[in-house]
Homo-oligomer: A and B are copies of this chain.
Amino acid sequence: MPSRRYVYQGRILNLAIEDGFEIVEHDHAVAILAERNGKLLFVRQHRPAVGGSTLELPAGLIHPGETPQEAALRELAEEAQLSGELEFLNSFYVSPGFCDEKVFLFRASNLQPAQGTPDPDEEISVEWHDPKEVYRAAQAGKEQISAPAMAGILYYLLETTHSSL
């Protein structure tokens, strides 16, 4: 077992060196794909890391003691004031070359209003968009989207062509 030397231990991430590799430890996360009348649910927010605003799926970190499913329900309520039935779609590592963050992607259906408020350090705008329009805007560099948003858009388009996975 190689030893991991910590350079920084912080609020949402740790930075360590192991065998010369720079490694960021980061909690796992969830993202939720939700649709209404052919439009997908996105949140737009300013992201200091990126230096601009992004269009993302509702998403967030899994809190200690939560299952991915519980985290997804909480984030959907906090960010979009919605609830629904969740189906687990898949999971992936966001950037396994340096980071252990894994995202669990869910599909929400039978959407209903729910109580919830965003984190105080997040200013979020909830937006419903045609998935092909967002795909093309990202392709043209007019929108900046997240990895779960890309996966969600492609999954939804695949689902609506009735191909089985």
Contact = CB atoms under 8 A, between A and B. Distances in A.
Interface string A67-103: 0000000000000000000001111111111111111
A22 B18 contact: no
Contacts of A157: 158, 163, 165
A18 B13 CA distance: 14
Interface residues of A, number: 62
A29 B51 CA distance: 18
**Chain A's interface: helix, strand, loop or mixed, by majority?**
mixed
B94 A95 contact: yes
A146 B92 contact: yes
A138 interface: yes
A150 interface: yes
A44 to B, nearest CB: 11
B48 A92 contact: no
